[in-house]
Chains A and B, each alone.
Chain A
Amino acid sequence: MKILGLVLLVSGWAIVLTSVALLMEDVPRAAFVLAGLGVEIVGLVLLVRAHPVHRSERE
């Protein structure tokens, strides 16, 4: 899940870069940038869930 989260973070960034480089119209470009950010947020959520509190570090 940790690796998947990291992959999604980078994938979201790739979507943002691609939309900036390839789309010239304002609205589709903005939509794809927001979509890329959405993918990054999903990746962030997965990373959070992949880091539970380890039992050994508890009391």
Chain B
Amino acid sequence: MSGLAPALSDTSALCMIFILLVPLAGAGLALINTGLGRSRSAAQLMMSSLCVVSIAALTYFVCGFAFQGLPNQASHWLTIGGKPWSWLSDGYLFLHHVPLDGSPASLAALLGMLSAGLAALIPLGAGAERWRLGACSISTVVLAGWTYPLFAHWVWGGGWLAQLGSNYGLGQGFIDSAGASTIQGVGGLSALAIAWILGPRRGKYTNDGMPSAIPGHNAVLVLFGCVLALAGWWGLNSSCAILFNGAETGVAVRVAINTLVSAASAALAAALVTNTRFGKPDASLTANGWIGGLAASSGACALIQPLAAALIGAIAGVLVMFAVEWLELHMSVDDPGGSISAHAMGGLWGVLSVGIFARLPAVNRSTEASTPHPGQWLAQLVGIATLIGFVLPLTYCLNWLLNRAYRQRVSTEGEQQGVDLYELGAGAYPEFVTHSEEFMDR
């Protein structure tokens, strides 16, 4: 070899740094899910998180990126009403023909591998303490290999949702700055499907259908996970804004401020409301509010002012708090990690907030004055309808079929014993287990 390797452009280098922060979001979510579960399931949940992230990255490498693709790449089309609807990319498997040299395609592939893992981590919170390791691994193959790339193509790969603007005059087409729909929405609705298929934990509901409180085992893990997640979200929101919205690198500052402001407003709103309602602030609901604020911030983080981000976050915090209660009390959905409320509700609200608050041309695409686009809110509603009317039934049916072939829920014995001992043969905190032989004469 002669000489130095050619330097990456400033934008690519900065984007690469942002992408390398994204695993912190996954670590944060794993810690939150683990802390909100019982100690007898902690090791299995962390092990599942690692397996899920690994499987998602490999599956996305094998076929996910080929299905997602990038705008202006070859894709499969349907012609409806004389307009082309791109529904699936026609890329190569195993990242063939992707120049791995800091090009936007290579950065999008790396970000996609991590984003698919992040989306796949979300259902773990809803299925905690009763979802078998093998089952969640197979379910991740389906999510990272098909559901996530398919929807991501529609939004970020030049698919029909992104084309709603050019084809039908709906604003600038469906816009998702950083994964409020593709990551949070898809992951959150998959979590709902999983929670329904698995059913609630044993002992969660009494015979008359009333829920019992099963507190998490470690609030420290949960709150530390929130801080880690913030760092990860900074990377996620900034890199997505640059790669998929064409934002200038300087917009990363705006994105970071909006992300922090949204999460902080959401957490404080949740803490204030729980304090008002219950007399004391609730740590787990505040943490869920924080994550809900982060999820909501992903929708419009590059396209709004910080004041709008504060409002979006505050609304997300209150929405998430009431959603947790509504799911548990009225829908009999047992979601130990609050994943459905924080990610699905936060993400859907984040998608809608683009249509309400975003000033689109201010940061990308055109030189027009910064004004709201008429029809943008309708494009966002079409995206939400697609998540609820297509992604949820799809992920439900696929996981239902999987459940028929390979039971997803751990056996009664395993649940009573704790999935740590049942599936792994060892607990997360073995020194806390008292062994009778330690006190016997030797």
Contact = CB atoms under 8 A, between A and B. Distances in A.
Given A20-B168, A51-B196, A36 B202 contact: no
A31 to B, nearest CB: 11
Contacts of A53: 199-200, 205, 209, 332
Interface string B352-390: 000000000000000000000011001001101110111
A17 B83 CA distance: 13
Q: How large is the interface on A (under 10, 10 to 19, 20 to 34, 35 or more residues)?
A: 20 to 34
A10 B389 contact: yes
Given A9-B393, A54-B199, A37 B205 contact: no
Contact of B388 (A9, A34, A58): A9
Contacts of A48: 331
B390 A13 contact: yes
Contacts of B196: 47, 51
B375 A26 contact: yes
Contacts of A55: 207
A16 B375 CA distance: 14
A11 to B, nearest CB: 8
B200 A20 contact: no
Interface in B13-69: none
Contacts of A51: 196, 199, 331-333
A11 B388 CA distance: 11
Interface string A40-59: 10011001100111110111
A34 to B, nearest CB: 7
B381 A58 contact: no
Given A12-B385, A26-B375, A40-B388, A21 B80 contact: yes
A45 to B, nearest CB: 10
A12 B287 CA distance: 34
Contacts of A20: 164, 168, 170, 382
Contacts, number: 88
A13 B189 CA distance: 15
Nearest to A39: B389
Contact of A33 (B209, B332, B381): B381
Contacts of A30: 378
A16 B201 CA distance: 36
Q: How large is the interface on B (under 10, 10 to 19, 20 to 34, 35 or more residues)?
A: 35 or more
A16 B386 CA distance: 9
Contact of B199 (A6, A37, A57): A57
A10 B392 CA distance: 9
B319 to A, nearest CB: 16
A58 B384 contact: no
Contacts of A40: 385, 388-389
A27 B357 CA distance: 21
A33 B382 contact: yes
B355 to A, nearest CB: 12
Contact of B389 (A9, A22, A57): A9
A20 B205 CA distance: 43
B397 A6 contact: yes
Contact of A37 (B81, B332, B385): B385
B396 interface: yes
Contacts of A22: 81
A2 B307 CA distance: 42
A12 B389 contact: yes
A16 B205 contact: no
A30 B375 CA distance: 9
Given A20-B168, A20-B382, A36-B385, A9 B332 contact: no
B99 interface: no
B389 A16 contact: yes
A44 B381 CA distance: 16
Nearest to B195: A51
11 contacts: A6-B393, A16-B381, A21-B168, A33-B378, A33-B381, A36-B385, A37-B381, A44-B388, A53-B200, A53-B205, A59-B212
Given A30-B378, A57-B199, 14 more contacts: A6-B396, A9-B388, A10-B393, A13-B388, A16-B386, A20-B382, A33-B381, A36-B385, A37-B388, A43-B389, A48-B331, A51-B199, A52-B209, A58-B207
The 5 residue pairs across chains A and B that have the minimum distance between CB atoms: A13-B389, A16-B385, A21-B81, A53-B205, A53-B332
